[in-house]
Amino acid sequence: MKIIPAIDIQNGSCVRLVKGDFNQSTTYNNSPYNQAKFFFENGFNHIHIIDLDGTQVGEKINADIASKIANDLGLKVQFGGGIREIHDIDRLLNNGISKVIVGTIIFKDKDSLQSLKNNFDQNQIIYALDFKKVEDIYCVCTHGWQEETNIDICDFIGKQEFKNILATDIDKDGLLEGPNIDVYTNILQISDSINLIASGGISSLTDIDNLKKINIKETIVGKAIYENKISLKDLKAC
Q: By percentage, how much of the chain surpasses pLDDT 70?
A: 100
Catalytic residue among 8, 51, 88, 207: 8
Mean pLDDT in residue range 175-200: 95
What's the pLDDT tens digit per position in 94-144?
Answer: 999 999 999 999 998 889 999 999 999 999 999 999 999 999 999 999 998
Mean pLDDT of the chain: 96
Percent above pLDDT 90 for the chain: 94
Candidates 88, 130, 169, 207; catalytic one: 130
List, edge to edge, every strand of the sheet that includes 137-142: 131-134, 137-142, 147-152
Active site residue 111: no
What tens digit of pLDDT does each residue of 209-235 get? Answer: 999 999 999 999 999 999 999 999 999
Q: Which residue has the higher pLDDT, 20 or 187?
A: 187
In the annotation, is 171 catalytic? no
pTM of the predicted model over 0.75: yes
- pLDDT of 156 reads 96
Domains (range + CATH), the chain: 2-236 (3.20.20.70)
